[in-house]
Amino acid sequence: MMAPMSRTSSGTTTAAAPRSAAVIAPVTPQPARTSAGTATAAAGGQQQGGKKSSAKARADEFKAWAEQQMQHLTGSSDLTFVDFLFTLPSAGEVQEYCATYLGADDRTAAFASEFLRRKRADPSLSSAGGVFTAS
């Protein structure tokens, strides 16, 4: 984009200084105040925090269960395989990979079934995206 041109009193043409764009600072919402002057937004923050901590508690519970199962099935509490299972789109694939890598026996079938039950019961676990391998 070319700078605007202007004429001086002597008749020469010069480039005009570019106009600076107005900078608008973002408006930060202020917490509502009660008649006592205390902020009421804190209660909402606790509620949201409660939901987040509840999801974290469920993820922690699942992680503890998965570590115990992996220890029982493989002798290691490494959750890399469990993390991989979350990426599989179908129950059949979960069962097939479990049978292939953990052995085709009743313990493995029970693990795969319980994994799928827990995954379906809490969709937030599926969106965890690798949190189980990062300790």
How far apart are alpha carbons 21 and 57 in whole angstroms?
Answer: 48
Identify the pLDDT of residue 54: 86
Place of tokens 């300790």: 135
| In the chain, domain spans | 46-135
DSSP code per residue over 13-40: EEEPPPPPPPP-PPPPPPPPB-TTS-BS
DSSP code per residue over 66-118: HHHHHHHHHS----HHHHHHTT-SSHHHHHHHHHHHH-SSHHHHHHHHHHHHH
How far apart are alpha carbons 111 and 44 in whole angstroms?
Answer: 39
Give residue-wise pLDDT tens across range 31-78.
454 444 444 444 444 444 556 678 889 899 999 999 999 999 999 999
How confident is the prediction for the chain on average, in pLDDT? 74
Please give the share of the chain, as a percent, with pLDDT higher than 90. Answer: 46
pTM of the model: 0.58
